[in-house]
Amino acid sequence: MSALRTAIFMMLGLAACSSAPPETAAPEPEEYWGVPDLALQAFIPPMLLAGEGDTIYISHLIENIGDGVSDETQISYYISNRSPVDPAASIVIGERAVPSLKPGESDDSMEQVFVIPAGVGRPPVYLAACVDVNDIVEELRDDNNCSVNRLGENQMPFESGAVMPGGSAQPDR
């Protein structure tokens, strides 16, 4: 009788297994174990022949070239009548939030509108941008966060017509 009992339990077990709904495995979340590195890959324009009250258009591209996910941070834009631009001694003309970026992801902003403030001086004016100026993100390197490097040299020499004299809001395309 014990053999019959074993056979019945086995059949019931197989029936229970075959009638159970199939389980769907949840996708495993991506995990990154490395350290992020936010790099300002492009910044336009670094120099303008524009003056107080003129509307200017600034574009940038930030990329996480590290192998870890970055925290949210911000990018700050600076203006000065001196070259190279020293962010610590310049006027901040704007800031923008930068979202958390996975390795290889980028964040860009094209033609953000700013007005050159009073007190900057006569043209030409020089611009710079720095991401993560408050060191929120622990990174592999910090020397690639600004459009000017530690030596004060502009890393992206580019002259642009990204200015609309007299405060016009229409970019030259």
Q: Left, alpha or beta for 83 (phi > 0: left; psi -120 to 50: alpha)?
A: beta
In a domain, 121, yes or no: yes
Question: Which pLDDT tens digit goes with each residue over 108-155?
Answer: 999 889 999 998 888 888 999 999 988 889 898 888 999 875 434 444
CA distances from 8 to 3, 5, 18, 20, 58 (A): 9, 5, 15, 18, 77
Query: How much is the pTM?
Result: 0.68
Asked if the structure places residue 77 within a domain, the reply is yes
* Residue 62 within any structural domain of the chain: yes
**Residue 92 counted as domain residue:** yes
Does 166 fall in a domain? Answer: no
**DSSP type of residue 92:** E
Distance between CA atoms of 57 and 59, rounded to whole angstroms? 7
Answer yes or no: is 7 within a domain. Answer: no
CATH label of the domain that carries residue 109: 2.60.40.10
Q: Report if residue 120 sits inside a domain.
A: yes
Number of domains in the chain: 1
* Domain around 144: 38-151
Q: What pLDDT digit, counting tens, does each position of 71-87 carry?
A: 999 999 999 988 888 88
First to last CA, the chain: 91
pLDDT of residue 95: 93
With contact defined as beta carbons under 8 Å apart, do 160 and 45 qualify?
yes
**Separation in Å, CA 154 to CA 42, 44, 109, 111:** 11, 11, 20, 20
